[in-house]
Amino acid sequence: MNLLIALIPALCWGLNPTIVGKIGGKPIQQQLGTALGATLFAVVIYVVMHPELTPSLIIGCIISGAFWSVGQLLQYKSYGVLGTGKAFAISTGLNLVLNSLFGVCVMGDWAKANQKIIGFAALAVIICGAVLTSYSENKEECDLKKGVLILLIAAVGFTGYSCAPAFVGAGGIQAVFPQAIGMIGGSLILSLLESKEIKKFDAVTFKNMIPGLVWACANIAMIYANKLNGVAIGFTLSQMAVVVSTIATLVILKEKKSHKELVHTILGTIVVAIGGVMIGFTK
């Protein structure tokens, strides 16, 4: 059951890029819409559940949300540079490396030798799968370098987002509301750095509240998964979203791929799935 909970974010986050792509808008509009949707979800949860909040928990989760705002905005920007499917695949690999290393080195995950062997082998398999899905016959080195740099910084943001709640022992329900404060606050600050010509609260911004609600469902499941399984396992399994995202971008967004690119994408998706199964054996 614990591992099934850890797979919920994979489904929701995997569909999220496709939903955002169908709605459209500038990255900052997508960001603000996602944050608003997640905040609405958080307010409802807080009013209904009345979770007990401590000062340390509030601070830790606000920091988590602020880190997320940086990571998510940069990920949205990377879609325009690399394409949704390719950017999400590369993002998956970078997030896996940073989050898992943090979980193992700082949080004490994979304490036993056999867990480390299986875990790091699984990471290598998943990263190889992500690289395969990102294969492109059209080599655009400048765009690739720019995209990877954007996603590397985004991965740092996502690492702070996923690990900060663990430092204060935040449970799923408790973390949602203060985390949303950090998300919307960070997003609003980042919006001030964008061009004034972009309408920050246009109709498309509010349409992007839909992926925000989808994201929120994944978020609460991942917080629970990290608490139940550890950061390395919880976050790693959530990155199985690359499988869902790859299929969704091909079927729904209809991203064009050559026969060779399609073969690499399908093979990479299978490899990622195998790595995800391997992660389960570290529990």
DSSP secondary structure string, 53-121?
Answer: --HHHHHHHHHHHHHHHHHHHHHHHHHHHH-HHHHHHHHHHHHHHHHHHHHHHTS--S-SHHHHHHHHH
Task: Please enumerate in sequence order all residues whose Cβ is within 8 A of that of 145, keeping only pairs 6 or more positions apart, or say none.
Answer: none
Give burial (CB, 10 Å; 0-12/13-18/19+) of 204. middle
- Would you say the pTM of this structure is higher than 0.95? no
What tens digit of pLDDT does each residue of 228-271 get?
777 667 767 776 788 888 888 888 888 777 888 888 888 888 88
Residue 264: both structure tokens together: 């690499």
Residue 192 predicted with pLDDT over 60: yes
* CA dihedral sign, ordered 282, 163, 239, 40: positive
Q: Buried (b) or exposed (e) across 208-220, using 16+ Cβ within 10 A?
A: bbbbbbbbbbbbb
Closest CA to 159 of 239, 254, 266: 239
Q: What number of other Cβ atoms are within 10 A of residue 8's Cβ?
A: 18
Please give the average per-residue pLDDT across 168-179, as a whole number.
Answer: 82
Q: What number of other Cβ atoms are within 10 A of residue 194's Cβ?
A: 16
Q: What number of other Cβ atoms are within 10 A of residue 266's Cβ?
A: 16
CA 245 to chain centre: 11
Q: Which band of pLDDT confidence, cut at 50, 70 and 90, is reported for residue 208?
A: very high
Angle formed at CA 82 by CA 80 and CA 84, multiple of 5 degrees? 70
Which of 157-166, 176-185, 186-195, 199-208 is the least confident region? 157-166
